[in-house]
């Protein structure tokens, strides 16, 4: 098992939900964490929690779809900690609707956050990771990146493309000691989903379930490649019994 102590990680969307749980889990393992998101207040809350628990964290208010803001996140990590070992591309947004009348602005926004964001972040850290011959990128995709769901086209396509981005990133960089994993969660109770009508929260995944899987992946021996998107769902249908 690989020791994560004193490694540096960037977690996008670290101010809530899966990103918050992952940032806290990493910090608890002794990882120096940079969290980013657009809302300063959520980042400050999570940073306060991490520091109270003895962890090290830098919050950076930034939009992952903007190249200059992504560069600022990465330069904060480099200035504070010298390098980046781990990138968790977690920030994401949802926008439901059928493709036949899908709002074009919503399409552009979903693609910008869910696909352009992970591309920009990966592009910003890969040269450093290649130089140090060490790095691990984990993309938080979705079951919508593997399966078909009604009125889920824009989001689902952004996640299908994110899965492909992960595969390309892995293949182009695996000879440089860089590993890439893609996690495809089922329903997790977070800000994104908690008010969805008919969702049985008791039957959903928790953000900690995803953070546990992230930690497990990060602590495998360096020569182990875990390919294909990893689907993590619940045994019981979360759309029943609410
Ligand atoms: P969440 O609590 O809404 O988290 C999304 C995070 O992304 C927020 O912290 C948000 O912060 C950040 N974000 C959104 N747009 C951003 C931008 N342009 N730049 C930077 N940060 C941005 O929901 P979540 O469920 O934890 O979602 C995390 C990831 O899991 C997403 O990629 C989502 O697609 C995926 N996922 C969720 C579920 C589920 O059931 N919840 C299932 C499968 C996959 P700001 O608003 O402050 O920017």
User: What DSSP element (H or E) covers 23?
Assistant: helix 17-28
Decide if 38 contacts 61 (C-beta within 8 A). Answer: yes
Rounded to the nearest whole angstrom, what is the distance from the C-alpha of residue 14 to the centroid of ligand 1?
8
What is the rounded average pLDDT for all residues in the chain? 97
In this prediction, residue 199 carries a pLDDT of 97
pTM exceeds 0.95 for this model: yes
On the CB side of 185, CA atoms within 13 Å amount to 25
Question: What CA–CA distance (Å, rounded) separates 134 from 96?
Answer: 38
175 CA from centroid of ligand 1 (Å): 31
pLDDT recorded at residue 99: 95
Residue 91 Cα to ligand 1 middle (Å): 4
**Where residue 242 falls among pLDDT bands split at 50, 70, 90?**
confident
- Per residue in 136-175, pLDDT tens? 999 999 999 999 999 999 999 999 999 999 999 999 999 9
Q: Which of 161, 179, 162, 159 is nearest to 170 (CA)?
A: 179
Catalytic residue among 149, 155, 168, 176: 155
Question: Ligand 1 site: residues with CB under 6 angstroms?
Answer: 12-13, 15-19, 36-39, 42, 63-65, 90-93, 113, 140, 142, 185, 187-188, 190-193
Taking CA atoms, 226 is separated from 56, 88, 115, 125, 220, in Å, by 29, 16, 21, 21, 9
176 part of the active site: no
So what's the pLDDT on residue 2? 85
Give whole-number Cα distances, 83 to 8, 133, 221, in Å.
Answer: 7, 12, 21
Q: What is the mean pLDDT of residues 71-90?
A: 98
Is residue 1 over pLDDT 80?
A: no
Q: Among 237, 228, 126, 125, which Cα is nearest to 183's? A: 228
């Amino acid at each position: 098992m690989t020791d994560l102590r004193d490694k540096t990680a960037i977690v996008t969307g670290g101010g809530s939900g899966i990103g918050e749980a992952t940032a806290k889990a990493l910090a608890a393992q002794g990882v120096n964490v940079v969290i980013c998101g657009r809302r300063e207040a959520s980042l400050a809350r999570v940073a306060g929690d991490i520091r109270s628990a003895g962890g090290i964290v830098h919050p950076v208010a930034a939009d992952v779809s903007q190249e200059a803001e992504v560069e600022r996140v990465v330069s904060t990590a480099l200035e504070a900690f010298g390098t980046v070992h781990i990138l968790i591309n977690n920030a994401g947004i949802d926008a439901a609707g059928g493709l036949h009348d899908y709002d074009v602005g919503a399409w552009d926004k979903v693609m910008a956050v869910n696909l352009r964001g992970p591309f920009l972040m990966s592009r910003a850290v890969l040269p450093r990771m290649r130089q140090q011959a060490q790095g691990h990128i984990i993309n938080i995709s979705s079951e919508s990146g593997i399966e078909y769901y009604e009125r889920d086209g824009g989001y689902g396509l952004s996640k299908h493309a994110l899965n492909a981005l992960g595969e390309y990133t892995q293949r182009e960089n695996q000879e440089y000691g860089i590993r890439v994993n893609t996690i495809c969660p089922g329903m997790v109770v977070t800000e994104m989903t908690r008010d969805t009508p008919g969702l049985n929260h008791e039957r959903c995944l928790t953000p900690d379930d995803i953070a546990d899987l992230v930690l497990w992946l990060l602590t495998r021996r360096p020569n182990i490649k875990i390919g294909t998107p990893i689907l993590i769902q619940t045994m019981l249908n979360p759309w029943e019994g609410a």
